[in-house]
Amino acid sequence: MCHKNVKTQDGGKKRNQVNKETVQLVIDVPQEVKDTFQDAVERNGKSMADVLKLYMQKYIWKQSELQRNRQKRRKNIG
């Protein structure tokens, strides 16, 4: 389930600016996993949201690199 919350950079006033849009991500995980993860990130002075955002960005980058490498291999084979 995903709840969409739109936030604008200009306090809600619409202008010719690009608006930053955020969404709320809801996932189901076992309570023990959530608690252990929360303890781990807080010990390192971070928040769960910050760690998950960074992980998602790295995952997206890694997948694009893998896709690019697959395309290069196909081009070299063909």
Q: Tens digits of per-residue pLDDT, 26-68?
A: 999 999 999 999 999 999 999 999 999 999 999 999 999 999 9
Where do runs of H (alpha helix) occur along the chain? 31-43, 48-77
User: What pTM was computed for the model?
Assistant: 0.62
How far is the CA of 33 from the CAs of 11, 40, 57, 68, 73, in angstroms? 36, 11, 21, 33, 38
Q: Which two tokens stand for residue 73?
A: 């291999």
> What per-residue confidence (pLDDT) applies to 14?
53
Give the mean pLDDT of 12-33.
Answer: 79
pLDDT at 1 over 50: no
Q: Distance between CA 46 and CA 30 in Å, rounded? A: 21
